[in-house]
Structure 1
């Protein structure tokens, strides 16, 4: 059996409803002719060509947002597994910002950790445009499919420039959708997501608000093989210590080999890097006993760069669980805690979409699925990274066993983009 990691993910069914729905007919490009909207973000042919990587300009903000969003999820002491794609959420709301104005516009960028005094709005959109282009390269052994879909009620009056910018900059697919028939609309959207995630997410939407007139979907699908697979012959059922009172049995994958790793004295954690074939890698973070909450509160983008500069590369015995988990989040509640509020209420200004202040976001749902398993054949060396801030020489143990709650960060290396973040509290919970 070949070992593979599949990370299909649907973000943000951003369900948009009207304050009032103007009576206009047809889903045509001539909508909004009387409300001209300058194409500020449509990229020229030259800009769409090869040039310096603008995506590096948005990486720090995307990483800050990733950890801020994680901390908001982790603040709920429910003890559940966590798994989501911060990049999927950032991309969806950056696209939405194309149509946002005034306070709504400013809150979205601030919530995504962008300071418009330090980076121009056009640079943000160009950064996402190039990032989408790089991530979606079909020849990468670590497959990433990241994209957007806009499902729009045909009677909705909209500005064609918004759709053109969404298509040209964010590669968004546009569809005419009859939301007056929720069953048909859900079937159309769910089929689209099922197709884009290789069947891993069959039901993106469970329900639609009665007043929905537009749904913005961002999907991400990741599929990659371990550079150094785990041998199925060395899978053993072992104890996983969920907490002081709970122990579960889980299949643990064993491998002895060369890995990049380090003990991070600042985070009180071991960090091991498991690379995939292609341009992606995963950081497995194992906090010391009682230090999980400390890691969650302290983890920041600076740690990623410090790890990569400070790792040790030695032979260790690595033990990690084989598991499959899924998660669903009401992103609206989480983003409101992060200061993005106007877009969800009747003061929302999304007039860049319709030319009028008649839309607001009613619901934001994020669904994620993660499968981690072994590989049939052992390959070459594995690369893993971590660092130690303190000068004390801490010798790594012979064995690093992920037999208690740990974190996972999956990174696209050349763009330094965090694709996924997860916390595995109990690998037996689906």
Structure 2
């Protein structure tokens, strides 16, 4: 049995640096004391109003901003990342950040603190993570976080309590000076949590590394309308008009469709059985860069408003791809700078030494297959034929002429670079976002 699968891994590595802290001082009264903060955050996550929906638009805004930064520098390769994995990891890190370092993280994540409070952001992520991890028999989302802390690092207990209660994060005390043992410990954890999909995620550790923050998300979904098992080899016009052979999945069925004349693209929504959908976005020939430079979060709402069911002859490449990035450069371009330099203020994590972030690694595995049936369930091809008995003869008095045949299905062939989003439909969370330039 085959399914659409993607797995995201996000690693943040922190190092000790023995220099005087020269960042901005915390404004008195701008941040609650540690005991009050721990108690307030823990209580608000599990009681009171649901606020998870408040952070969804900001998360979407962050996703599109980050994609725009990536696509402006990555043209000839596939782009894949998990916005929710990155944003939740950085939001968790912000619990230990202060002053300008913390402000930059929130701003880089597209949050406007004049519109939404910090406690609402943290509570929203807590509630959202619980919703995404809710068991569903037809779609499976598993997300989690872990902290690997050097045994010599005296971490503030309030920070550990916050990440445990708000982000369900596990924490481990290890000896980073034992370079080989530390790598083995982290890699074994990641391998276990990702069902063996990602191995050797940490290939190098600096001698100054004292903390690794891990966030992972695993998605497994089954198509509501499974594609035909017989694949067709077709030409795919990859980057630079290079033609490659691609295994094409094929299905004729009713799908939600919208034609966006402003963005010169067509959008097909392919649902999973359960609470997720995939959006396949095909730009007109020669319009990929225009689409990437213009696309904003409001376009998702626009497409949802104007979606119509159409009978579509759909062709999508079957592929499996792996992408790995150091996100430090992209995050700096979004304004998250201090946490990477001598101005870093992560004194909410430890009061003894000054930490800065040394690397931000993101790995994504995406597999799209043709068979999406779960437990033997499948949807057969939908036909638009007229039902009922045919008249014994036509054209005579009292017998109306036969209705015209249904129009042929709309041909949608993703045989050139296209965009793909995977969205949790119960929350509107963008789980995966990317561009396929060459299906592997």
Q: Name the TM-score, length of structure 2 as normaliser.
A: 0.87
Question: Who is 2:387 aligned against?
Answer: none
Compute the displacement of 1:207 (Å): 0.9
1:316 is aligned, of 312, 319, 344, to 312
1:262 paired with 2:274, answer no
Question: Who is 2:275 aligned against?
Answer: 279
CA distance in 1, matches of 2:9, 2:157: 26
CA distance in 2, matches of 1:19, 1:59: 36
Compute the displacement of 1:398 (Å): 2.4
Q: Equivalent residue of 1:38, what SS?
A: helix
CA distance in 2, matches of 1:419, 1:128: 14
Contact 1:350/1:356 (<8 A) preserved: no
Contact 2:249/2:317 (<8 A) preserved: yes
Question: Who is 2:17 aligned against?
Answer: 19
Question: Who is 1:9 aligned against?
Answer: 8
Compute the displacement of 1:202 (Å): 1.3
Contact 1:186/1:205 (<8 A) preserved: yes
CA distance in 2, matches of 1:87, 1:96: 14
Shift of the 396–300 alpha-carbon distance from structure 1 to 2, 3 Å rule, reads farther
Unaligned runs of 5+ in 2: 20-32, 383-406
Contact 1:43/1:169 (<8 A) preserved: no
Q: Equivalent residue of 1:10, what SS?
A: strand
Shift of the 37–81 alpha-carbon distance from structure 1 to 2, 3 Å rule, reads same
CA distance in 2, matches of 1:380, 1:118: 48
Compute the displacement of 1:244 (Å): 5.2
CA distance in 2, matches of 1:317, 1:409: 20
Contact 1:42/1:168 (<8 A) preserved: no
Compute the displacement of 1:210 (Å): 1.3
Any residues of structure 2 matched to 1:339-354 within 5 Å, and which? 339-354=335-350
1:166 paired with 2:163, answer yes
Any residues of structure 2 matched to 1:95-110 within 5 Å, and which? 95-110=92-107
2:354 is aligned, of 330, 345, 358, to 358
1:401 paired with 2:413, answer yes
CA distance in 1, matches of 2:335, 2:170: 29
Q: Equivalent residue of 2:349, what SS?
A: helix
1:245 paired with 2:241, answer yes
What do the CA deviations read for 1:19-41 (whole angstroms, capped 9, x no partner)?
Answer: 139xxxxxxxxxxxxxx832415
2:174 is aligned, of 169, 172, 177, to 177
Shift of the 376–266 alpha-carbon distance from structure 1 to 2, 3 Å rule, reads closer
> How many equivalent residue pairs?
399
Shift of the 142–104 alpha-carbon distance from structure 1 to 2, 3 Å rule, reads same
What do the CA deviations read for 1:264-313 (whole angstroms, capped 9, x no partner)?
Answer: 11211110001111111110000001111111111111111111111110
Shift of the 403–322 alpha-carbon distance from structure 1 to 2, 3 Å rule, reads same
Compute the displacement of 1:44 (Å): 7.0
Question: Who is 1:25 aligned against?
Answer: none
CA distance in 2, matches of 1:123, 1:41: 14
Q: Equivalent residue of 2:37, what SS?
A: coil
Q: Equivalent residue of 1:232, what SS?
A: coil
Compute the displacement of 1:116 (Å): 0.7
1:87 is aligned, of 84, 87, 92, to 84
Question: Who is 1:153 aligned against?
Answer: 150
Shift of the 42–215 alpha-carbon distance from structure 1 to 2, 3 Å rule, reads farther
What do the CA deviations read for 1:232-251 (whole angstroms, capped 9, x no partner)?
Answer: 12x11110011453100010
Compute the displacement of 1:118 (Å): 0.8
Contact 1:41/1:122 (<8 A) preserved: no
Q: Equivalent residue of 2:96, what SS?
A: coil
Larger radius of gyration: 2
Shift of the 243–169 alpha-carbon distance from structure 1 to 2, 3 Å rule, reads closer
Range with bigger deviation, 120-129 or 182-191 = 182-191
CA distance in 2, matches of 1:376, 1:168: 35
1:423 paired with 2:435, answer yes
CA distance in 1, matches of 2:64, 2:56: 13
Range with bigger deviation, 118-127 or 42-51 = 42-51
2:127 is aligned, of 126, 130, 150, to 130
Contact 2:7/2:194 (<8 A) preserved: yes
Question: Who is 2:284 aligned against?
Answer: 288
CA distance in 2, matches of 1:366, 1:161: 27
Compute the displacement of 1:143 (Å): 0.7
Question: Who is 1:196 aligned against?
Answer: 193
Question: Who is 1:369 aligned against?
Answer: 365
CA distance in 2, matches of 1:381, 1:46: 50
Shift of the 112–223 alpha-carbon distance from structure 1 to 2, 3 Å rule, reads same
Unaligned runs of 5+ in 1: 22-35, 383-394
Q: Equivalent residue of 1:328, what SS?
A: strand
Any residues of structure 2 matched to 1:67-86 within 5 Å, and which? 67-86=64-83
Question: Who is 1:216 aligned against?
Answer: 213
Q: Name the TM-score, length of structure 1 as normaliser.
A: 0.89
CA distance in 1, matches of 2:272, 2:421: 13
CA distance in 2, matches of 1:298, 1:82: 17
Shift of the 244–215 alpha-carbon distance from structure 1 to 2, 3 Å rule, reads closer
1:413 is aligned, of 425, 429, 440, to 425
Compute the displacement of 1:205 (Å): 1.1
